[in-house]
Chains A and B, each alone.
Chain A
Amino acid sequence: MHKLKYFRRKISITFSVITIFSQYSCSNKINPSQNITIASSGKIESIDPARVSTLKSYQLLNALGDTLYELNNKGELIPKLAESKPIFSEDKLKVSIKLKKNILFHDGTPFDSSSMKFTIERFQNIGTLNYILNKKIKSIETPTKELLIINLTNPSSSIEGLLTSINLTPISPEFYKDHFDKFLNNNFMGTGKYKLKRFSNEIQSLSPNQSYWGNKAKNNGINFIGYNNSSALYGAFISKQVDVLLSNSIEDTLRYRLNLLSKKKDIQENQSAPIEISFISLRTNKTPLNNTDIRLAIAKSLNRELIRNKVSFSLRNSATSLIPLIFKTNNSVSWPDFDPKESMKIFREQGYCDGNIFNLPLTYRSNVPTDKLIAFYWQQSVKAEMKDCFSISINGVESTTIYKNLSKGIYPSVILDWTGAYSDPEAYLSPLLSCDKFIGNKCLKGESVFSGSFWASEKVERLFKESENLEGVERLNKLLEIEKIASKSLPYLPIWTSSQKAWAQKYISKPIFNGAGIIKMSELAKNEK
Chain B
Amino acid sequence: MNWQRMKSNIKNVFNYTLIKISLIPLNLWIISSLIFILLRIAPGDPIDAILGSGADQEARELMRNKLGLNQSIHVQYINYLKNLINLNLGESLSNQEPVIQIIRDALPATIELGLFSILIAIFIGFPLGYMGLRNKNKKFDYISRIIGISSYAIPPFWGAMMIQLIFSVIFRIMPIGGRFPIAENPQSITGFFILDSILKNDFNAFQGAFYHLALPSLTLGFLLSGIFSRSLRLNLEKAYNSDYVDAAICRGISEKNILLNYAFPNALIPIFTITGFAIASLAGGALLIEVTFSWPGLALKLQEAILQRDYNLVQGIVIVSSLIIISINLLIDIMIAFLDPRIKY
Q: Which A residues contact B (CB, under 8 angstroms)?
A: 19, 22-23, 25-27, 29-35, 37, 43, 45-46, 51, 53, 128-131, 134, 182-183, 185, 198, 200-203, 205, 223, 225-229, 231-232, 235-236, 238-241, 367, 397-398, 400-401, 403-406, 416, 418, 421, 431, 445-447, 450-451
CA distance A69 to B95 in the complex (A): 27
B96 at the interface (CB under 8 A from A): yes
- Chain B residues with CB below 8 A from A238, complex form: 169
Cα distance A247–B30 when bound, in Å? 42
Is the CB–CB distance between A450 and B44 below 8 Å? no
Question: Across the interface, do B181 and A232 meet the contact criterion of CB distance under 8 Å?
Answer: no
Contacts A131-B59, A401-B43, A404-B48; A416 near B53 (Cβ below 8 A): yes
Q: Which of B171, B172, B293 makes the CB contact (< 8 A) with A232?
A: B293
CB distance from A46 to the nearest CB of B (A): 5
Q: Is B51 an interface residue (CB 8 A)?
A: yes
Once the chains bind, are A235 and B169 in contact (CB under 8 Å)?
yes
Nearest first, the 4 A-B pairs at minimum CB distance are A33-B183, A131-B59, A400-B44, A401-B43
The answer to whether B33 has its CB under 8 Å from any CB of chain A is no
Q: Are B173 and A226 in contact (CB under 8 A)?
A: no
Is the pair B48, A33 in contact by a Cβ cutoff of 8 Å?
no
Tell me the chain B residues, 210-244 only, with Cβ under 8 Å from chain A: 211
B residues contacting the other copy or chain, number (CB 8 A): 52
Chain B residues near A (Cβ < 8 Å)? 43-45, 48-59, 63, 94-97, 161, 164-165, 168-169, 171-183, 185, 207-208, 211, 291-294, 296, 300, 304, 307-309
17 contacts between A and B (CB under 8 A): A26-B174, A30-B181, A37-B182, A43-B304, A53-B51, A201-B296, A202-B178, A203-B178, A223-B183, A231-B292, A238-B169, A239-B172, A403-B53, A404-B45, A446-B56, A447-B54, A447-B56
Contacts of B172 in A (CB 8 A): 30, 239-241
Beta-carbon contact of A231 and B161 below 8 Å: yes
Q: How far is the CB of A239 from chain B (nearest CB, A)?
A: 5
Q: How far is the CA of A46 from the CA of B94 in the complex (A)?
A: 10
Cα(A194)–Cα(B54), bound, Å = 31
Closest residue of chain A to B164 (Cβ to Cβ) is A235
Which residues in A have their C-beta under 8 angstroms from that of B57? 445, 450
A295 to B162, CA, bound (A): 47
Asked if residues B95 and A185 are in contact (CB atoms below 8 Å), the reply is yes
Q: Which residue of B lies closest to A134 (CB)?
A: B56
A45 and B94 form a contact (CB under 8 A):
yes
Q: Is A45 touching B95 in the complex (CB atoms < 8 A)? A: yes
Q: For residue A51, which residues in chain B have a CB less than 8 angstroms away from its CB?
A: 95
- Determine if A236 and B176 form an interchain contact, defined as CB atoms under 8 angstroms apart: yes
Q: Please pick, from A31, A131, A198, A203, the residue contacting B56 in the complex, using a CB distance under 8 A.
A: A131
- Chain B residues positioned under 8 Å from A227 (CB to CB): 176-178, 294
| B48 and A26 form a contact (CB under 8 A) | no
Bound-state Cα–Cα, A239 to B49, Å: 34
A202-B294, A227-B294, A229-B292 known; A403 vs B173 contact (CB < 8 Å): no
Q: With a CB–CB cut-off of 8 A, which chain A residues contact B97? A: 185
Chain A proximity of B62: nearest CB distance (Å): 8
Compute how far the CA of A45 lies from the CA of B296 in the bound complex, rounded to whole angstroms: 12
Selected from A128, A367, A451, the residue in CB contact (under 8 A) with B50 is: A128
**B52 contact from A31, A198, A203, A403, Cβ within 8 A:** A403
CB of B207 within 8 A of CB of A29, answer yes
A450 touches B95 (CB 8 A): no
| Closest Cβ–Cβ distance, residue B262 to chain A (whole Å) | 32
Contact of A241 among B161, B168, B179 (CB under 8 A): B168
**Contact, CB under 8 Å: B55 / A53:** no
- B173 adjacent to A19 (CB under 8 Å): yes
- Please determine whether B168 and A239 come into contact, CB atoms closer than 8 angstroms: yes
Q: Which residue of B lies closest to A418 (CB)?
A: B54
Q: Are A228 and B291 in contact (CB under 8 A)?
A: yes
Indicate if the CB atoms of B173 and A400 lie closer than 8 Å. no
B179 nearest CB neighbor, chain A only: A202
Q: Given A29-B208, A30-B172, A232-B177: A202 and B296 within 8 A (CB)?
A: yes
- Which residues from A are CB-within-8-Å of B309? 400
Known pairs A241-B175, A450-B55; A232 contacts B95 (CB<8 A): no
Cβ contacts under 8 Å, B208 to chain A = 29
Minimal beta-carbon separation of B133 from chain A (angstroms): 21
* Contact present for B181 and A29 (CB under 8 Å): yes
Least distance between A138 CB and chain B CB atoms (Å): 17
* Complex contact A232–B45 (CB within 8 A): no
B residues near A25, Cβ cutoff 8 Å: 207, 211
- Contact (Cβ within 8 A) B207 A398: no
| CB-contact partner of B183 in A32, A134, A232, A367, under 8 A | A32
The answer on a CB contact under 8 Å between A228 and B300 is yes
Instruction: Find the B residue at minimum CB distance from A451.
Output: B53
Are A231's CB and B164's CB within 8 A? yes
